[in-house]
């Protein structure tokens, strides 16, 4: 697609339910990142992939959070047994490649706003 | 790991030049410096990236001194539409991976 697409844009769920957030990166982009952003804060790194391999998941808050990118394109961030503190904007970004110390330009989607009641 | 420090907020007026400085004392040899802009309700958008000296594009200039321990984003003749949060990023590589890490950024407000 022309840009990074995320769905759903808005998700309201009840505490204890599982949610799945989807990210469709720019076609051909190697790297895919997941971030979480609270109001008034910068994006907080969660995890990232190069192709289908999860390179780093050190930012995932706990084992209720998981992510996959099985075919090296679309990625899903899953939150199990949601809690109110999980409410935030979840952002996905992709980049074409990385060279040397550069991460390459990140292209962000519009985000998925999660509200846990 | 390189940590960045930038002012929390800045105010300016239309038509002025705005300079936002970011400190990154522990920048690694291979790290690039990247700046992003974020409008409310949107994802961050790449502005400019550099390694040393000066980089200029149609939007901004980036000045990096020889020691690379800081960088300055320069926005010429700002307008109201430049009101946004600006983030300075330096490549962080725990275990060899590259993780773009955002701080709180600098909230720039441009007044009429």
The whole-number pLDDT of residue B29 equals 86
The whole-number pLDDT of residue A105 equals 85
Q: What would the two tokens of residue B21 be?
A: 């400085």
Question: In this model, does residue B100 exceed pLDDT 60?
Answer: yes
The whole-number pLDDT of residue B95 equals 46
A93 contacts B46? CB cut-off 8 A: no
**B46-A10-A83-A79 Cα dihedral, nearest 10 degrees:** -70
Q: Which residues contact A94 (CB under 8 A, 6 or more apart)?
A: A4, A23, A25, A26, A29, A31, A32, A33, A106, A107
The whole-number pLDDT of residue B101 equals 84
Mean pLDDT for B2-11 is 91
Q: Which of B1, B9, B6 is nearest to B70 (CA)?
A: B6
Quick one: closest CA in A to B86, which residue?
Answer: A42
What is the pLDDT confidence band of residue B94, given thresholds at 50, 70 and 90? very low
| A4 beta partners | none
Percentage of the residues of chain B whose pLDDT score is greater than 70: 92
B63 to chain A, any CB pair closer than 8 A? The answer is no
The whole-number pLDDT of residue B1 equals 55
The whole-number pLDDT of residue A103 equals 62
Question: In this model, does residue A5 exceed pLDDT 70?
Answer: yes
Q: What are phi and psi of A86, to 5 degrees?
A: -80, -10
Going from the C-alpha of A12 to that of each of A16, A17, A82, B40, B88, the distances in angstroms are 12, 10, 11, 21, 32
For A63-93, how does the pLDDT look when each residue is reduced to its tens digit (9 = 90+)? 999 999 999 999 999 999 999 999 999 999 9
Q: Which of B14, B82, B99, B86 is nearest to B44 (CA)?
A: B86
CA distance B89 to B104: 11
Question: In this model, does residue B37 exceed pLDDT 50?
Answer: yes
Q: What are phi and psi of B102, to 5 degrees?
A: -95, 135
CA distance A116 to B16: 43
Sheet of A19-24, strands arranged across: A5-7, A19-24, A75-79, A65-68
Quick one: closest CA in B to A97, which residue?
Answer: B98
CA distance B28 to B1: 8
For A35-70, how does the pLDDT look when each residue is reduced to its tens digit (9 = 90+)? 999 998 999 999 999 899 999 999 999 999 999 999
Question: In this model, does residue B93 exceed pLDDT 60?
Answer: no
CA distance A93 to A34: 7
Q: Which residues of A touch B51 (CB under 8 A)?
A: 101
Q: What would the two tokens of residue A100 be?
A: 């040397």
Of B28, B31, B104, the CB nearest to A41: B104
B43 contacts A91? CB cut-off 8 A: yes
């Amino acid at each position: 697609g022309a840009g990074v697409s995320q769905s759903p844009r808005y998700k309201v769920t009840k505490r204890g339910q599982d949610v799945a957030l989807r990210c469709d990166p720019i076609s051909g982009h190697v790297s895919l990142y997941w971030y979480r952003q609270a109001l008034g804060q910068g994006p907080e790194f969660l995890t990232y992939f190069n192709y289908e391999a999860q390179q780093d998941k050190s930012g995932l808050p706990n084992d209720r959070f998981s992510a996959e990118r099985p075919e090296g394109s679309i990625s899903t961030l899953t939150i199990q047994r949601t809690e109110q503190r999980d409410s935030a904007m979840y952002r996905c970004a992709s980049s074409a490649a990385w060279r040397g110390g550069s991460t390459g330009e990140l292209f962000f989607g519009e985000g998925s706003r999660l509200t846990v009641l | 790991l390189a940590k960045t420090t930038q002012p929390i907020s800045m105010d300016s007026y239309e038509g002025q030049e705005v300079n936002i400085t970011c400190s990154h004392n522990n920048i690694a040899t291979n790290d690039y410096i990247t700046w992003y802009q974020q409008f409310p309700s949107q994802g961050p958008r790449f502005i400019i990236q550099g390694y040393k000296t000066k980089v200029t594009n149609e939007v901004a200039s980036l000045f990096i001194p020889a020691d690379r321990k800081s960088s300055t984003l320069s926005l010429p003749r700002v307008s109201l539409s430049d009101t946004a949060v600006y983030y300075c990023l330096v490549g962080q590589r725990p275990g060899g991976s590259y993780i773009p890490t955002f701080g709180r950024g600098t909230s720039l407000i441009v007044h009429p």
